[in-house]
Structure 1
């Protein structure tokens, strides 16, 4: 799966916005010419039958408006000098969680909250590119700052209606709507265009529009809970890496909370929860110049691979039953595993195939 970060490099963008409403009339025809009977079967405007038919739509609209009212004040726009992104108010002390690719290499930021046009200053607490998450902190915390409520990732289900809130293309406080279209996706972010190149597991896939500038914002359920941070939009390499409409990905709330809590408390991530072989590697190709495995360039002394007897020059071809052809496929194979878990690694050494049982380490 190819994906690209959805931050915006557009400043001062003025876009003409138009809303189109289409009314569709459904007409049922009957045989015969009894006009009185036809009139008797018609529904008069304002009748009980018409009201009951429109009530579900009214209820859903009211639900959307309630969620927006509850959550949008907790979603901010972040100006990181040469890029724009979004963020979520994490607590009442002024901590804001966002994507690492939104903050980039910057240390200071301009933040606009949804409840006012006043621009606030903020500073970086820490970034964790391995999970494409970061926390910044407002230098002065305004009164009435509203932290968002984060939901439980295990309760997210395909088909749930969700709203994406953020600042696509610099249009602050924008809301789009869709559903959860898949869960448990493992996606590798592009390292081009400011991306971190991170491989992220258990992402929430959504049909809600995720555009440049939405990164770091909120994917919200109808209980006004943040269930993820919109981070990536899928791209189609066969179409010149153009965006694939209706396919966006959000980092699950459980991982957001895990990383943010550590950064707020310790100023860094001390427990990633991410499995690793503790190696550096590179993709190798076969005689037909096709990716054929990952050669170990370096093995960390005392790390998982070293303890299992792997050494520089070995070429990994499988993790368990999963074929490994590139460094990205290796990262994706390990993304859902946990430190301390045992896996069987198949590798080549001097052309001979071997296996090793490896107890995974931690990133």
Structure 2
């Protein structure tokens, strides 16, 4: 099952949770952190939910379950151990065009609640689509150990000064270059060391002096692809795809490889006229862009030679990354 990843703004929006046990408590805790107005229907409430109810953090819906409650909810969570009731609840939500998560039942759910690494405004969600929740949890734990909590303060710096950044850097390419400069700078290390004021001072200084940044030199990277397995790409190829401002992709390139490129990279058409294509790529690189061409070398290994020759003649920085071929076991010698 393929899921569409989505971060929902639930601030002051009603969410219906059916169930009052430990599982419901875990779901409600996350919903409350997101600012949702949680409404709970359950025969009994766990001690933690009772406490939140007394504190006014959630509302309890009394009496027999009323399907009309779903109409007032942005999302629904079913956290009961009654399988028949959960199926009926999922049906009612479907009829009312409401998204529902049925705990531990991916087939009945129209959305999943992922494992989350929370660093303030920066959040990383990991989901297996309900297929392997323990695997998602393990990956979350690994990310928790790798990502310093100072990232929350770093993200907050960008959030607080977002308007000033956009005003001073209206050009997207220059803004991206400035972001790369700041992200590679010392600010996060300062925040990790507790030097918050010094980090903000350095951040604002970098923003004030943005015009001193040297415009990044553009380049063209040609990556010959001979195998659809994205795991065979070199680290250099992956780095180039992550840095791509403009992307050209031959028709035969496998989708999993294409998905490794920057999502906001501008897509350019692959022109059949190699001279025109070289001129177009060169022009894009001269504007300061990193232009990456995923060439289907398996379809025509020699097709890129003319293009590479023409690109080299333009004088733009050119890099042709070596293709990675799958390992083949050597033939076994006879006796």
TM range (shorter): under 0.3
Q: Which has the higher strand share?
A: 1
Q: Which has the higher helix share?
A: 2
Q: Which structure has the bigger radius of gyration?
A: 2
TM normalised by structure 1 equals: 0.25
TM normalised by structure 2 equals: 0.26
Q: Which has the higher contact order (CA 8 A, sep 6+)?
A: 1
